[in-house]
Amino acid sequence: MITVKDLQPHPLDQVHRLIEPGPVILVTTRHRGIPNVMTNGFNMMVRHAPPLIACTIGPWDHSYQALVETGECVISVPTADMAATVVDIGNCSGAD
C-alpha cells in the first residue's frame, strides 16, 4: 500500500509528464516525397473495432502539412529498448 511517506515532490512544471495519456508513438509521414517521423505523446484510443487513434498534431509540427496534403500517416508504437532512438527523434525536426 502507498502511504504519504512514499510520495515524492515534483516541480509543478514537470508533473504533466506523469499523467500524459497513452504511450509515446511514432507518426511517419511523407511530404513532397521526403519521409518524416515525429514522436507524439498526446494520443489515445477512440474506438477499438475498427481501431481509431486520436493524436494531437498541429500547424506547429513539421508533419502537419504532410497530413493535411495526403491525409495519411503510419503510427508505430516503439518498444522500451528503442527509448534512446525515440528521444533522439523527438529532439530534432524534419524542418532542420
End-to-end CA gap in the chain: 48
At residue 68, the pLDDT reads 94
Instruction: Give CA–CA dist 1/31, Å, rounded.
Output: 50
At residue 72, the pLDDT reads 92
* pLDDT, greater one: 86 or 12: 86
Q: How many CA atoms lie within 13 A of 78 on its CB side?
A: 21
Q: pLDDT digit string (tens) for 36-49?
A: 999 998 888 888 77
At residue 23, the pLDDT reads 84
Q: pLDDT digit string (tens) for 44-93?
A: 888 877 888 888 999 988 899 999 999 999 998 888 889 899 999 888 77
**What single DSSP character describes residue 61?**
S
Q: Which domains does the chain have, with CATH numbers?
A: 10-90 (2.30.110.10)
* pLDDT, greater one: 52 or 96: 52
At residue 2, the pLDDT reads 57
At residue 1, the pLDDT reads 54
Answer for the pair 28, 36: CB distance below 8 angstroms, yes or no: yes
Instruction: Give CA–CA dist 24/86, Å, rounded.
Output: 8
